[in-house]
């Protein structure tokens, strides 16, 4: 059992969102759905709490009502090995009403913020040569979805 589990508060879309996320990421599953009973406070039979796993990371989603909303102050950071993985995850997460942001950030249709980041980015930005790293940083700051080849070209001075 994980010691720390992200707990996501939804208005009434916890089960829908969990199923959506599980459909996007490999090695993912719904673990359990607890439903409201006669005592409420939600409608009887609707999901109250959904536990699910994405790529080995456990999450809990609650249908807690409209009191709280997601902000960019918390985001889910996804390490991606290839441009294909970046493109696939990016496109799936913005589908259906998500919004692109800057520097690899996006909001999905539920308002949850994600960072879809190639592992190459950290390597380039932390290079010993500050000129090369600076060129990669400047290129990244102009991007929404991260383009690995464009980062590498900037790093290489092309």
Per-residue model confidence (pLDDT) at position 144? 98
Q: Which of 66, 92, 109 is the last residue of a domain?
A: 66
Those residues whose C-beta lies under 8 Å from the C-beta of residue 88, and which sit 6 or more positions away, are none
Q: What is the pTM of this model?
A: 0.93
Residue 40 has pLDDT above 90, yes or no: no
- Do 78 and 113 belong together in one domain? yes
Per-residue model confidence (pLDDT) at position 1? 80
Q: Which of 66, 84, 108 is the last residue of a domain?
A: 66
Give the separation between CA 67 and CA 90, rounded to whole angstroms.
28
How many structural domains compose the chain? 2
Range of the domain at 42: 1-66
Instruction: For residues 28-40, give the mean pLDDT.
Output: 95
Nearest to 105 by CA among 70, 133, 131: 70
- Do 153 and 78 belong together in one domain? yes
Percent of the chain at pLDDT exceeding 70: 100
- Do 29 and 84 belong together in one domain? no
Residue 108 has pLDDT above 90, yes or no: yes
Residue 27 has pLDDT above 90, yes or no: yes
- Do 83 and 111 belong together in one domain? yes
Q: How confident is the model at residue 42 (pLDDT cuts 50, 70, 90)?
A: confident
Instruction: For residues 123-136, give the mean pLDDT.
Output: 98
Nearest to 136 by CA among 105, 103, 114: 103
- Do 143 and 97 belong together in one domain? yes
Instruction: For residues 59-81, give the mean pLDDT.
Output: 96
- Do 5 and 80 belong together in one domain? no
- Do 123 and 150 belong together in one domain? yes
- Do 42 and 96 belong together in one domain? no
- Do 61 and 99 belong together in one domain? no
What number of other Cβ atoms are within 10 A of residue 130's Cβ?
9
Residue 96 has pLDDT above 90, yes or no: yes
- Do 22 and 98 belong together in one domain? no
Residue 52 has pLDDT above 90, yes or no: yes
- Do 59 and 121 belong together in one domain? no
Q: What are the Cα distances from residue 80, in Å, to 29, 101, 117, 120, 151?
A: 20, 18, 6, 9, 14
- Do 50 and 90 belong together in one domain? no
Q: Which of 20, 46, 66 is the last residue of a domain?
A: 66
Which domain CATH number covers 115?
Answer: 3.10.180.10
Per-residue model confidence (pLDDT) at position 94? 97
């Amino acid at each position: 059992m994980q010691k720390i589990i992200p707990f996501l508060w939804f208005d009434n879309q916890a089960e829908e969102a969990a199923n959506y996320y599980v459909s996007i990421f490999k090695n993912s599953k719904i673990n359990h759905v607890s439903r409201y009973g006669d005592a409420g406070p939600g409608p009887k039979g609707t999901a109250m709490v959904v536990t699910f796993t994405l790529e080995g990371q456990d999450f809990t989603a609650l249908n807690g009502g409209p009191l709280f909303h997601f902000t960019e102050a918390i985001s889910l950071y996804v390490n991606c090995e290839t441009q294909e993985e970046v493109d696939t995850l990016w496109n799936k997460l913005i589908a259906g009403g998500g919004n692109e942001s800057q520097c690899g950030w996006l909001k999905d249709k539920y308002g949850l913020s994600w960072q879809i980041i190639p592992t190459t980015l950290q390597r380039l930005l932390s290079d010993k040569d500050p000129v090369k790293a600076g060129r990669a940083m400047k290129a990244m700051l102009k991007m929404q979805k991260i383009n690995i080849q464009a980062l590498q070209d900037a790093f290489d001075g092309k």
